[in-house]
């Protein structure tokens, strides 16, 4: 079955991940682009093949479109994604799911009412090193997980988004909602939930706008750094830090400390996953470097989304799981 896909929001994530990955998927036959800035939709239609429309309704009301990627900025996910679901489309929505829990719950209600699939782009789960870690943890190769440490940081979104300036929406409270917490932190919260088959329950956190300034030179309205201590429902303890001010190479590392040894992820340039066993044995896995803003390879997310449509499977990242992550972000921010 050929699938016609609509993309809402034609900025960086659409250009570097969604559009090329749909283009490469053998089941996707046609792409339709929409952005409220029509020039961006036109540009992607030219670059990836397909057409563009000038209103969101043209996309949502097109009966030949089966699936939609919502790649718009955070403050409108709940509108576009809910409308698309209720118009009978399957939706892959970018993270964070929404700018507040109430909006996110409405999206889940739209999913239930429509009977369509809602998947969220928590793409960290799909990387080869994280998949390998999941396999090792599920098989209890190193026994039970005791503690963990995770971080995600880079130089900030003002060099990534389509508007490359300090006026970026990522720095605005009403549009981003949660700064680096919802931008990078939510990826690692989801990853910990997934890897540990557990959920973060108690949070102690500090957050602040330490360094980033907006277009007027004022400190930004959202946090650029988070440091937190976490306790899961099953009693595991961990620490996490999320940053837009790591002014060197991106840090995407995680360490899982288990009864029988340690799993180190993305800490060595060649060996993306290293196991250090209690008896001194070290096993190095050379898998694949993680996608970074500079290194864009197939995330596997689009293929997984198309697969769950074709084979009528539950999406590998559900709205319910994304909502649980959003609630942790609220706790981190003390909301
Ligand atoms: N999964 C990931 O790893 C990842 C990485 C980066 C961004 N994201 C998420 O993807 C989304 C988009 O981020 P981006 O980096 O592409 O930002 P961006 O600023 O580069 O692009 C956003 C685009 O959305 C368009 N847009 C905004 N409001 C709209 C509306 N109401 N109707 C139509 N178009 C609208 C803008 O015109 C812009 O072209 C965000 O939610 C972000 O958090 C996810």
DSSP string, 94-119: PSSS-SSHHHHHHHHHHHHHHT--EE
Environment class of 269 (CB within 10 Å of its CB; exposed 0-12, middle 13-18, buried 19+): exposed
Please tell me the predicted confidence (pLDDT) of residue 293: 67
If you take atom 1 of ligand 1, which residue's CA is the nearest one? 121
Amino acid 209: pLDDT? 98
pLDDT of 299 reads 87
Q: Name the nearest CA neighbour of 117 among 37, 248, 3, 41.
A: 3
Q: Which CATH superfamily is domain 126-297+314-332 in?
A: Dihydrodipicolinate Reductase; domain 2 (3.30.360.10)
**3 Cα to the center of ligand 1, angstroms:** 23
Residue 15 C-alpha to ligand 1 middle, in angstroms? Answer: 10
Question: For ligand 1, is residue 95 a contact (CB within 6 Å)?
Answer: yes
Distance CA 335, CA 330 (A): 5
Phi, psi of 91 (to 5 degrees): -130, 135
Residue nearest to atom 25 of ligand 1 (CA): 9
**Ligand 1 touching residue 40 (CB < 6 A):** yes
So what's the pLDDT on residue 38?
98
Is the CB–ligand 1 distance for residue 75 below 6 Å?
A: no
Predicted pLDDT at 128:
94
**Alpha carbon distance 193, 237 (integer Å):** 13
Q: What separation in Å is there between the alpha carbon of 72 and the centre of ligand 1?
A: 4
- Alpha carbon 233 to its chain centroid, in Å, reads 23
Residues forming a β-bridge with 265: 254, 273
Q: How far apart are CA 49 and CA 43, in angstroms?
A: 10
Q: Whose CA is nearest to atom 5 of ligand 1?
A: 13
Domain boundaries, given as residue ranges, for the chain: 3-123, 126-297+314-332
**Alpha-carbon torsion 35, 245, 93, 294, what sign?**
positive
Q: Can you identify the CATH homologous superfamily of domain 3-123? A: NAD(P)-binding Rossmann-like Domain (3.40.50.720)
Query: Which residues of the chain fall below pLDDT 50?
Result: none
Neighbours of 309 (CB within 10 A): 20
CA atoms within 13 A on the CB side of 67: 28
Q: If you measure from the C-alpha of residue 6 to the centroid of ligand 1, how many angstroms do you get, rounded to a whole number?
A: 14
DSSP string computed for 268-326 = SSS-SEEEEETTS-EEEE---PPP-SS-----SHHHHHHHHHHTT---SSBHHHHHHHH
Confirm or reject: Cβ of 253 under 6 Å from ligand 1.
Answer: no
The reported pLDDT for the residue numbered 37 is 98
């Amino acid at each position: 079955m050929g699938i016609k896909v609509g993309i809402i929001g034609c900025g960086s994530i659409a250009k570097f991940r969604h559009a090329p990955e749909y283009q490469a998927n053998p089941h996707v036959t046609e792409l339709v682009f929409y952005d409220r800035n029509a020039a961006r939709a036109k540009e992607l239609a030219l670059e990836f093949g397909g057409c563009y429309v000038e209103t969101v309704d043209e996309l949502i009301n097109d009966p030949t479109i089966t699936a939609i990627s919502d790649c718009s900025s955070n403050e409108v996910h709940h509108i576009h994604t809910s409308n698309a679901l209720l118009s009978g489309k399957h939706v892959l929505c970018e993270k964070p799911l929404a700018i507040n829990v109430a909006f996110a719950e409405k999206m889940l209600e739209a999913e239930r009412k429509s009977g369509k699939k809602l998947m969220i782009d928590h793409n960290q789960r799909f990387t080869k090193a994280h998949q390998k870690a999941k396999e090792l943890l599920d098989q209890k190769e190193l026994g039970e997980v005791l503690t963990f440490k995770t971080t995600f940081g880079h130089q900030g979104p003002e060099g990534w988004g389509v508007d490359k300036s300090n006026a970026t929406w990522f720095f605005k409270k009403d549009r981003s909602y949660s700064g680096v917490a919802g931008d990078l932190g939510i990826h690692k919260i989801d990853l910990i939930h997934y890897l540990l088959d557990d959920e973060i329950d108690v949070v102690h956190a500090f957050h602040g706008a330490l360094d980033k300034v907006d277009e007027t030179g004022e400190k930004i309205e959202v946090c650029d750094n988070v440091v937190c201590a976490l306790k899961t429902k099953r009693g595991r303890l961990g620490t996490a830090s999320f940053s837009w001010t790591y002014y060197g190479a991106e840090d995407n590392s995680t360490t899982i400390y288990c009864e029988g040894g340690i799993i180190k992820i993305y800490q060595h340039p060649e060996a993306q996953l290293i196991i250090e066993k209690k008896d001194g044995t070290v096993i190095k896995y050379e898998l694949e470097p993680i996608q970074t803003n500079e290194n864009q390879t197939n995330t596997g997310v689009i293929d997984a989304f198309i697969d769950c449509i074709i084979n009528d499977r539950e999406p590998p990242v559900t709205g319910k799981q994304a909502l649980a992550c959003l609630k942790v972000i609220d706790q981190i921010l003390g909301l």
